[in-house]
Structure 1
């Protein structure tokens, strides 16, 4: 029960000393979440109140099922843009159908995550390498930021996931900028950034919201063209049972699976980062999928759109001293009280302030330091990062993440198909062997060649391995009698690898060269025995160390013992 309901592991052992920390952290995150939730709803193309709806029930459900003590589950910028990208194709923004699709997307996304958790697919984050994540996240941050130009400049800029179209639309209408709106937005950006520098605990976004409301109300700026939020429905979200149809499933399933993986990736990476600081609990990947899935499923029944763990909120929650998920429950209660009693106060909230909150939040997602690191250390991975970012910026977020995964797999296959191999020589006076290309003055012999292969023998690389060994053997004169394979790094042989080794043995045998194995691990020896590549009774095929194999080849009895070698094939 504790594994499926982690709340049972911390609630019965709750200490009174935790309450003050959880209360402070919960109130801090709740205050942060009110303007942030409304702002992220705008990214998703939804009325601001849906950002508050998505900040209540999902937090409570995650507190019951989640294994992270500090993860804050609510709307986030990246997933909000994915929602807008997918749903805008199905319905017009601002319509009831658009809202319905967004809520149904949360339901399907939750079902996908919950199902993946039950079948223990928590390892799927391994599909996304760091360069892909960085490129995708940085591009998404740019898209999100530029999509706020409509609210920051006060003009009708086209919104979308293709960045060149957004910029072209903004340049076309640059002469129509509403200067009062721009001044409010820039002042909001400057204030939020300044407050962050002064103190990470200062609720700069909320203060900017309050000041923005007061300025617009006092000066009547909404009557002078400044766009404001206006009426926000008062009260808690109603419980609604969705009307699911097969047509709806066909439309939303591909997008829901994409968001499910991206959202899990984001939440799990944040949770693991915080876990490494705390070290008094363990984040379980499969349970996290179940928890996020449950949060989205139940949340969708209360008009929530897709949610996940947020970078900035979770960091603030941890820094504010949250000890248990009770902090998230307190945050949810604060948002609920806001919905019940305070929504009329947001009537004069300028959209420019919400745009400022979004722009500041996503600016931290652009990781220029990692780009510089890859420039110095790994140009191939840098190319992967830039390619992912370029596709995301040009064609959209879903093509961007998919292309990043495909490129990662292709690079992995290319590296696997071209494995690292080394010709070895013995260090003078020692029994150690090193790469001839990296070390000087190593001892070598005309009658034997030592090869180290640093990968498993599998279908993707066996032909390359075989050809390199044979080609290197052909470069030697007729004195070459032995090839010693240092197989310490060969941890596996598949069926194609076995066939390749058989061909290698036969090809070398035709040239009167014997293949010996050194430092072979048990499973690989078993594979060679089972496939009759060696005689199980032979003591002159496998050697405990490479040096043992060399000593055998150089011994005076080698000519006689060669006839007993059991490197035989089924042929």
Structure 2
């Protein structure tokens, strides 16, 4: 296979067709996203416990890196709420918030998470994100959103309060209620009302006033900018700083310095686990957004190349005074709605942020921290999906268990332990459920070639031939379960002559599964029962041919179950097509072996 540079540098592909009209659309989108990203970057850096300017730094070179290596045409990369919270939790383990060591820890996290993503991308390991099930991710985001919103209430109230989990935050907020700064409270509540109100009512009002729907949507999403401008004017004109309102104060006007984070082996080793979690969460969040937007334009996103693009972005953040970044839902939606056509829009946004850092930051001096906190609260509460909890509960108890554990542990113990618990419990439940796979005794539906569960349908069955349908791949965790089930059936059917294992859902048989099949074959042979297989998939059959099992198999392998029955018990097959077919109604046949093994009636 010939090496294609565009495989690792997608810019070489979309750059060939870059036109003037594309440039104009990307520039317009970049201006809009830049306006939105300035307050967001400042707010998320504050959430991460970092100087606000670091949020701006994380929105410059990482965007250019993603434009070179990313595959999504509209994904907008930068600081996001979830990774900011995870950065604060991880960096807080090795240094005090506000210290130089804390800032270095954030840089190390960005660099390490970038390296991890890059390595995974080079080895084409995007499938690893599948280990985070949707209920776990949904539960983690919901719990994190609640923690983030609660952690920002101190800025709305104008009090000192800390805490790493919901319990600690609530306790400290409760103890600080007597110190509320009322001018700050008024600004914070007014900002929340405006931001929530603009999200719900501004778009319909603008459309009613004659503005196109697309333009109305963009203006609605840039609502925080209006709150920022109004609050700056209010604080400056009314001198609210003298009343105890905490403001942003001076933001450095320098561009980020370039260089590797300070190397301390112990610190790097302490942070590598947190960096891996940040990488995984960031990748899952980003690719889900990228795929959703790409589908709307019938474009394609390559998950493995996305690993490289996001890895390059995060590594670049680590060497340019930033902190971990990924694709954000809100800004990506704005970028999409504003008409961005290529990743160049992100590069132009980076230029806009750099110019803002150099020339606009003096005008942010009087920006109240309460407004930035309100911006964060409104953004993260949109991610809290309580309805999903009920939906998962009604659909799958095991998925709900993983989701509930993730939510509770995240709320009570912190983000890292929460997501780790969710992943571990998901894998455990998967192994547990697949270790007890569903098997069904099946019979022939009258007048058809189809075979269905005897506990669900009125079917025709044979006295000499028993058919067991296996509804799961056979591997080390469930191989012994299959043996126990077959032996239990055998003990309840002394007249049995043939056993057919129907395998339409078996996608894989590992060495343990093969060993169990061999043991079953020998045990049935000793009992004068012939073992047959039917509906075995091609890849599974290819593997079986590499072993001695097919040579030792006492029976045959049939293309379909009807052929097996026609060969083994033609009389029963003919009866199934007669008018007087004697059917077995559900529950008429006792299946103690299957019920004893814990099988349900699926």
Q: TM-score, normalised by structure 2?
A: 0.89
Asked if residue 92 in structure 1 is aligned to residue 111 in structure 2, the reply is no
CA offsets 1:460-494 (integer angstroms, 9 cap, x no match): 11111121122122222x32211111122223222
Aligned to 2:175: 172
The 3 A distance-change label for structure 1 pair 555 and 151 is: closer
SS in 1 for 2:533: strand
Aligned equivalents of 2:346 and 2:481: distance in 1?
Answer: 55
Aligned equivalents of 1:406 and 1:432: distance in 2?
Answer: 40
| Aligned residue pair count | 551
* Post-superposition offset of 1:102: 1.1
CA offsets 1:139-168 (integer angstroms, 9 cap, x no match): 1111111111221111111232x1101101
User: Residue 62 of structure 2 contacts residue 313 of structure 2 at CA under 8 Å; is this kept in 1?
Assistant: yes
Aligned to 1:128: 132
Instruction: Report matched runs for 1:325-404 at 5 Å.
Output: 325-404=343-422
CA offsets 1:87-136 (integer angstroms, 9 cap, x no match): 11211111222112212221122112112211221111111000000000
SS in 2 for 1:434: strand
Q: Select 2:480's aligned residue among 463, 481, 485.
A: 463
Asked if residue 454 in structure 1 is aligned to residue 454 in structure 2, the reply is no
User: Residue 94 of structure 2 contacts residue 267 of structure 2 at CA under 8 Å; is this kept in 1?
Assistant: no
Aligned equivalents of 2:173 and 2:449: distance in 1?
Answer: 70
Asked if residue 549 in structure 1 is aligned to residue 549 in structure 2, the reply is no
Q: Select 1:67's aligned residue among 54, 67, 71.
A: 71
Q: Select 2:319's aligned residue among 286, 301, 323.
A: 301
* Deviates further, 283-292 or 515-524: 515-524
* Deviates further, 42-51 or 482-491: 482-491
Aligned to 1:5: 9
Q: Select 2:532's aligned residue among 512, 516, 519.
A: 516
The 3 A distance-change label for structure 1 pair 524 and 36 is: closer
* Post-superposition offset of 1:12: 2.3
SS in 2 for 1:89: coil
Aligned to 2:54: 50
Asked if residue 186 in structure 1 is aligned to residue 189 in structure 2, the reply is yes
* Deviates further, 31-40 or 449-458: 449-458
SS in 1 for 2:92: helix
Asked if residue 215 in structure 1 is aligned to residue 234 in structure 2, the reply is yes
* Deviates further, 250-259 or 263-272: 250-259
Q: Select 2:503's aligned residue among 487, 494, 505.
A: 487
Aligned to 1:268: 287
The 3 A distance-change label for structure 1 pair 527 and 342 is: closer
Aligned to 2:209: none
Aligned to 1:141: 145
* Post-superposition offset of 1:526: 4.5
Aligned equivalents of 1:505 and 1:144: distance in 2?
Answer: 58
Aligned equivalents of 2:162 and 2:552: distance in 1?
Answer: 73
Aligned equivalents of 2:111 and 2:239: distance in 1?
Answer: 41
Aligned equivalents of 1:159 and 1:213: distance in 2?
Answer: 29
SS in 2 for 1:515: strand
Instruction: Report matched runs for 1:421-440 at 5 Å.
Output: 421-440=439-458
SS in 1 for 2:317: helix
CA offsets 1:244-274 (integer angstroms, 9 cap, x no match): 2323322322221221111111111111111
Aligned to 1:18: 22
Aligned equivalents of 2:559 and 2:287: distance in 1?
Answer: 43
* Deviates further, 330-339 or 505-514: 505-514
Aligned to 1:101: 105
Aligned equivalents of 1:319 and 1:189: distance in 2?
Answer: 24
User: Residue 76 of structure 2 contacts residue 327 of structure 2 at CA under 8 Å; is this kept in 1?
Assistant: yes
* Post-superposition offset of 1:231: 0.9
CA offsets 1:277-331 (integer angstroms, 9 cap, x no match): 1113x21112111111111222222211111111111111111111111221222
Aligned equivalents of 1:68 and 1:548: distance in 2?
Answer: 50
Aligned equivalents of 1:267 and 1:462: distance in 2?
Answer: 38
| CA RMSD across the alignment | 1.7
* Post-superposition offset of 1:185: 0.5
The 3 A distance-change label for structure 1 pair 530 and 35 is: closer
* Post-superposition offset of 1:501: 1.0
SS in 1 for 2:6: coil
User: Residue 248 of structure 2 contacts residue 368 of structure 2 at CA under 8 Å; is this kept in 1?
Assistant: yes
* Post-superposition offset of 1:511: 2.3
User: Residue 462 of structure 2 contacts residue 569 of structure 2 at CA under 8 Å; is this kept in 1?
Assistant: no
Asked if residue 498 in structure 1 is aligned to residue 502 in structure 2, the reply is no
Aligned equivalents of 1:393 and 1:253: distance in 2?
Answer: 23
* Post-superposition offset of 1:54: 0.8
Aligned equivalents of 2:396 and 2:553: distance in 1?
Answer: 47
Aligned equivalents of 1:241 and 1:431: distance in 2?
Answer: 68
CA offsets 1:481-522 (integer angstroms, 9 cap, x no match): 111111222232221112111211222223222111122234
The 3 A distance-change label for structure 1 pair 380 and 522 is: closer
User: Residue 423 of structure 1 contacts residue 450 of structure 1 at CA under 8 Å; is this kept in 2?
Assistant: yes
Query: Which runs of 5 or more residues in structure 1 are unaligned?
Result: 557-571
* Post-superposition offset of 1:212: 0.5
Q: TM-score, normalised by structure 1?
A: 0.93
SS in 2 for 1:231: coil
